A and B are shown apart, each in its own frame.
Chain A
């Protein structure tokens, strides 16, 4: 826990100072999770604000401060899911859609090491974003929470309110679909 239970209790009573304290403590972590979940840096702050807005108006429904973190993660997952659903497959011009020659030209213009590293990171982000297109928005978020955020099944169980076995099955299926897309992308790259 990044804040004391006492602060959460005060925030539940609409104490704005306590609420500010919570936001400041969790802001960076939530921004990071959202960045990885939605993969659109320009909208990250907007979604994070939506999370804290929902937290402000639902904090009084929290029965015990002990479940605060899973509660906050649930709000994050829901806000990211709503965002992704709205954005559903908005066709964008992505690096992964460019021809190899265009990628090489882009790489050539990125002369310095820093720029090259940035290009590599961008490519990784785009590859993962593209691969996760093989699963639904809900499965994408679940997979991200497990594989990238590193949450355990026990933690996911608390966030999703679903039993561990159901989560395992869902994760397995989602991962299989992503693996299939990954294999297909690898073959395509190998041929090209």
Chain B
């Protein structure tokens, strides 16, 4: 009737025997209490994890706001901030400073 070989049929018979050898077992009396204990334990873990995650997010948001506020506040630093780089450079090195105006003049002054 079929093209299946002898081995195929034997294997099918073995699988059927296996099905009969492994009937559906009854659950023990502790099945439901243990299941609910596991559910509660997982729920407690998830709840504390969620709470920690929320606390972390709140702290991160607060830190971001604080940093934003800090960056927007104009800071009063010593010195005149309106000065340009050129102004500062000119003040540090006046025109009569031989090092800047003419480096060779310094050599002449030293006795060459």
Task: Quote the shortest CB–CB distance from A23 to chain B (angstroms).
Answer: 7
What chain A residues lie within 8 Å of B20 (beta carbons)?
Answer: 121
What chain A residues lie within 8 Å of B27 (beta carbons)?
Answer: 27-28, 31, 45, 48
Task: Quote the shortest CB–CB distance from A117 to chain B (angstroms).
Answer: 9
* Contact B21 A121, beta carbon cutoff 8 Å: yes
In the complex, which of the residues A52, A122, A178 has the most CB atoms of chain B within 10 Å of its own CB atom? A52
What chain A residues lie within 8 Å of B42 (beta carbons)?
Answer: 53, 57
What chain B residues lie within 8 Å of A52 (beta carbons)?
Answer: 35
A121 CA to B21 CA, complexed, in Å: 5
A28-B24, A31-B24 known; A148 and B15 CB under 8 Å? Answer: yes
Count chain A residues whose beta carbon lies closer than 8 angstroms to a beta carbon of B. Answer: 35
* Contact A178 B38, beta carbon cutoff 8 Å: no
What chain A residues lie within 8 Å of B3 (beta carbons)?
Answer: none
- B104 at the binding interface (Cβ < 8 Å): no
Q: Interface with B: A78-86, A101-109, A123-131, which one?
A: A123-131
What chain A residues lie within 8 Å of B18 (beta carbons)?
Answer: 36, 124-125, 128, 148
Task: Quote the shortest CB–CB distance from B11 to chain A (angstroms).
Answer: 5
Count chain B residues whose beta carbon lies closer than 8 angstroms to a beta carbon of A. Answer: 26
* Contact A27 B14, beta carbon cutoff 8 Å: no
Chain B window 3-38, contacts with chain A (Cβ cutoff 8 Å), 1 for yes, 0 for no: 000011011101101111111111110011011001
Task: Point out residues on A near B: beta carbons under 8 Å.
Answer: 20, 23, 27-29, 31-32, 35-36, 39, 41, 44-45, 48-49, 52-53, 56-57, 120-122, 124-125, 127-128, 131, 147-148, 175, 178-179, 182-183, 186
Task: Point out residues on B near A: beta carbons under 8 Å.
Answer: 7-8, 10-12, 14-15, 17-28, 31-32, 34-35, 38-39, 42
What are 22 contact pairs spanning A and B, CB under 8 A? Answer: A23-B32, A27-B27, A31-B24, A31-B25, A31-B27, A32-B24, A32-B25, A36-B18, A39-B22, A44-B25, A45-B27, A45-B34, A49-B38, A53-B42, A120-B21, A121-B21, A124-B14, A125-B18, A128-B14, A148-B15, A182-B10, A183-B7
